[in-house]
Amino acid sequence: MPPVSARLPVFPWDRLEPYKATAAAHRDGIVDLSVGTPVDPVPELIRAALADASDSPGYPTVWGTAALRDALTGWVERRLGAAGVTHTQVLPVVGSKELVASLPAQLGLGPGDRVAFPRLAYPTYEVGARLAGAEPVPYDTQTFAAGTGTDLDPAGLKLLWLNSPSNPTGQVLSKDELRTAVAWAREHGVLVVSDECYLELGWEADPVSVLHPDISGGSFEGLVAVHSLSKRSNLAGYRAAFLAGDEAVLGELLKIRKHGGMMVPAPVQAATVAALGDEKHVTEQRERYERRRAALRSALEGRGFRIEHSEASLYLWATRDEPCWDTVSALAEQGILVAPGEFYGAAGERHVRVAFTATDERVAAAVRRLAG
């Protein structure tokens, strides 16, 4: 039997290492805008909650504490506009990437099943399909913009990933597009899982969840939303994320995850409660990102780049109409590291993804170099 790794694409970030070395050799140091990892401090109230819960010698539960489930349901109602959300409609998970990579297998998908995801997308959607032995099916987001969904063949399709705001493009799907996708999926018996991890970071658009009643029709049937505290609360290191939606789907996942011991650590559960109960730190972090975004966008445009989509998320989707690796190389010579669009699918081969998750000082350094 061939190794599981034989089913997987080459890990893309390994290909960036030579360019990282070039950028690191810059006399003023590297400005790493390639990965959307938080760099700002974890808010004090969250660290305090984690510390207060640090004496937790027993096993946590997979479903989480009642306080955590209260925090999750309350946030879904307040932020996503849903009503009457119950504990059976939420489920904590150990980071959203683990969930994306393992969900098809946890749903029991395998050979003969198909998993659809946007043609320009976070690579882990494809990885999850391949790990389960299912067929990965990229689709164009315009499929649902047309209002029909007919460009996507429903035969054998069991899981439809949506991603709004998008990683890497920052594109936000409109209410009409989301309604079309949900109606089409329900008509064909396809589970919709909407990756909404950047929902709090809308700049020129107001992202909407599939669980909003204007999209869901007031029912979570066939719908699951994925949310993360990594970006909104600087908690990537905590691996704090959760699902909300169809209680039948989440109930099955809960059973499976109990068998697998997929438990969010008790101190992280307490930290999540604190994070979801406070909006002040989210507003402050948004303001930091908004300043960095504006500075980088202006500098890139001044250097001849065109910014496409990018109305939300932590990235600028940039192009100067050349192969993406040429752009990566040229910027690396200036000590600036960005991600080639090709990492997110062949359709991104003439774009780069520029994260604005560097510190103020490093962003200012990038702006100076681009202006030079």
Q: How many residues are present in the chain?
A: 372
List the structure tokens of 25: 């050799």
- Asked if pLDDT for residue 149 goes beyond 60, the answer is no
Question: What stretches of 183-295 adopt beta strand conformation (E)?
Answer: 191-195, 223-228, 241-245
The helix/strand/coil state of 9 is: coil
Q: Mean pLDDT, to the nearest integer, of 152-169?
A: 96
Among 273, 248, 278, CA closest to 53 = 273
* pLDDT surpasses 70 at 1: no
Alpha-carbon distance 22 to 354, whole Å? 17
Token code pair at residue 211: 């669980």
Predicted confidence band of residue 148 (pLDDT cuts 50, 70, 90): low
pLDDT reading at 4 higher than 80: no
DSSP state, residue 7: G
pLDDT of residue 269: 98
- For the record, the structure tokens of 3 come out as 């190794």
What is the per-residue pLDDT for 202?
Answer: 97
Which is it for strands 241-245 and 90-93: parallel, antiparallel or unpaired?
antiparallel
CA distance 353 to 321: 14
What's the pLDDT score for residue 146? Answer: 66
- In this predicted structure, what is the pLDDT of residue 6? 61
Q: What is the pTM of this model?
A: 0.94
| Average pLDDT of span 329-351 | 97
**Looking only at Cα atoms, what is the longest distance across the chain?**
58
Sequence letter at residue 37: T
Residues 6+ apart with CB under 8 A from 120: 141, 166, 168, 169, 341, 344, 345, 347, 348
Task: Give the span between the Cα atoms of 180 and 118, in whole angstroms.
Answer: 15
> Which domains, and CATH codes, for the chain?
4-41+281-371 (3.90.1150.10), 45-276 (3.40.640.10)
Q: Is the pLDDT of residue 40 over 90?
A: yes
pLDDT tens for 205-250 read: 999 999 999 999 999 999 999 999 999 999 999 999 999 999 999 9
For 208, the token pair is 């909407």
Average pLDDT over residues 181-197: 97
Residue type for position 327: T
Residue where the block lists tokens 């990492």: 343
Map residue 340 onto helix, strand or coil: strand
Confidence tier at 14 by pLDDT (50, 70, 90): confident
- DSSP characters for 19-31? HHHHHHTSTT--E
The tokens describing 73, both together, are 């349901």
Instruction: State which H helix or E strand residue 333 sits in.
Output: helix 324-333
Query: What is the pLDDT confidence band of residue 49, given thresholds at 50, 70 and 90?
Result: very high
Structure tokens at 210: 């599939």
pLDDT at residue 12, as a whole number: 72
Instruction: Give helix 124-132 / helix 96-106 axis angle, nearest 10°.
Output: 30
Retrieve residue 91's tokens. 């489920």
Residue range 302-322, pLDDT digits in tens: 999 999 999 999 999 999 999
Nearest of 337, 347, 343, 358 to residue 309 by alpha carbon? 347
Question: Would you state the pLDDT for residue 26?
Answer: 97
Q: Phi, psi (5° rounding) for residue 227?
A: -130, 150
Percent of the chain scoring above 70 in pLDDT: 96
